[in-house]
Amino acid sequence: MGCAADAPARTLVMGDPQAPFARVLEVLDANHALGADGRIAPDVVLVSIGDHFDHDLNDPVAAGREGVAVLRWLTGHDPAQVKLLLGNHDTARVMELIGVDDQRFAEARALARAMRAGQESEADFERRFPDIPTAGLAGRDYASYSEEQRDLVMELLLAGRFDLALVGRLPDGRDVLLTHAGVTTREVALLGIDAADPHRIAAGLQETLRRACEARRADWARGDHTPLSLEPLHVAGRTGVEGGGLLYHRPARSDRPDADAAWEHAPDRPRRFDPRSLPPGLHQVVGHTGHRKCKGELGDAWLSEAARRRPAGGIRTLRVRDGDVSYDLGVSRAEDGATDMILIDGEMSRVSPADYSLLELERLGEPYPRRIASS
């Protein structure tokens, strides 16, 4: 059921739940989001920012089962109370890996791990597994993939349980766009939108998802594993090349001395974006990138002293104002002329539940029409 009619709703946004089911419940409990029955409390609306799989490289098979348990539990709640955003780990199950069965993936994962030990080469992997973009996807990024996960994601997409974007309002009154990894000027241009309006951008992204799922409904109903396509916004990987774009990219400083070759990646599938390419005036809430990764990608010059000292986790604000960039802990106070990206991937598997904060919103925006009309 949704929130009780006489109960004031608390709207909470949870960073990437890439953790065992028990840890997810501990985090929710620590944030007073569970009721006495162990389910989401009746006065809470919960948004998951996406990425529900792949938290343990040491035991990927068990991690895969945990991811299924988390996703089934979340979607066992009323859609008005629990909302799920798509992450790249979710979409990979119905894009890059949709045609791969469990036995073949286990073989690919084993070969990828042998490569890490220097026993095999990338050329060997591409020759044997041309249907899996890179060894890194099999051995690291999506190592817990299973057919059960794929089928669950397909089912939830067709039922309209995943969103590509939502709009919320912060307690200070600012409207924010919620997506898994954020929107830059690239995505706004691809949507054909001429203003940094979170409502228009969210509507465009939702329509993109609706059309993509309807284009696959008949195939999936027949058991044909045709990959979902969100191109050109989000581009799946292909043989020898990782994907990029909407659900893959992360903030990084392009002009720092040690910037890696990711900046030379094909422009149709960017893996990084410079914060100065964020749409001016658009405030966003995203997951995808934890604090440890941000520190490495952004470099010390933009980090506050508190951000430098913190080893992992936490809610953080990446701010652009008049061409200057700053990165600090917490949700920064509203400031005229500032463009804020609030990052909420708190590295759930690495920090204690008591140290993992959910982001509180005043509310979500008015619901969009259902993405998928059941046929």
Q: Exposed/middle/buried for 229, CB within 10 Å: 0-12, 13-18, 19+?
A: middle
Read off the CATH number of the domain in which 151 is found: 3.60.21
Specify if 176 maps to a domain: yes
Axis crossing angle, helix 60-75 with helix 147-158, rounded to the nearest 10: 20
Specify if 103 maps to a domain: no
CB neighbours (10 Å) of residue 348? 23
pLDDT of residue 281: 96
Instruction: Read off the pLDDT of each residue in 185-204 and give the average, rounded to a whole number.
Output: 95
The residues pairing with 60 across neighbouring beta strands, listed in sequence order, are none
pLDDT of residue 118: 76
pLDDT higher than threshold 50 for residue 338? yes
Instruction: Tell me how far apart the alpha carbons of residues 16 and 301 are, in angstroms, rounded to a whole number.
Output: 27
pLDDT of residue 370: 44
Specify if 131 maps to a domain: no
pLDDT higher than threshold 60 for residue 5? no
Specify if 242 maps to a domain: yes
Q: How many domains does the chain divide into? A: 1
> 270 or 366: whose pLDDT is higher?
270
- Residue 55 tokens read as 């938290």
Domain membership of residue 226 as a residue range = 10-97+142-364
Q: Exposed/middle/buried for 74, CB within 10 Å: 0-12, 13-18, 19+?
A: buried
pLDDT higher than threshold 70 for residue 59? yes
Rounded to a whole number of angstroms, the distance between the first and last alpha carbons of the chain is 24
Provide the percentage of residues in the chain whose pLDDT is more than 70: 93
Angle (CA) 187-246-72 rounded to 5° is: 135
Specify if 125 maps to a domain: no
Give the β-pairing of 284-286 and 175-178: parallel
63-107 per-position pLDDT tens digit: 999 999 999 999 999 999 999 999 999 999 999 999 999 999 999
pLDDT of residue 275: 97
Instruction: Tell me how far apart the alpha carbons of residues 200 and 196 are, in angstroms, rounded to a whole number.
Output: 8
Instruction: Read off the pLDDT of each residue in 216-235 and give the average, rounded to a whole number.
Output: 97
CA atoms 360, 307, 49, 206: torsion sign: positive
pLDDT higher than threshold 50 for residue 126? yes
Q: Please give the DSSP secondary-structure letter assigned to residue 58.
A: S
Specify if 342 maps to a domain: yes
Specify if 105 maps to a domain: no
Specify if 123 maps to a domain: no
Instruction: Read off the pLDDT of each residue in 15-44 and give the average, rounded to a whole number.
Output: 97
**Position 373: which residue type?**
A
Instruction: Read off the pLDDT of each residue in 352-368 and give the average, rounded to a whole number.
Output: 89
- Residue 59 tokens read as 């035991």
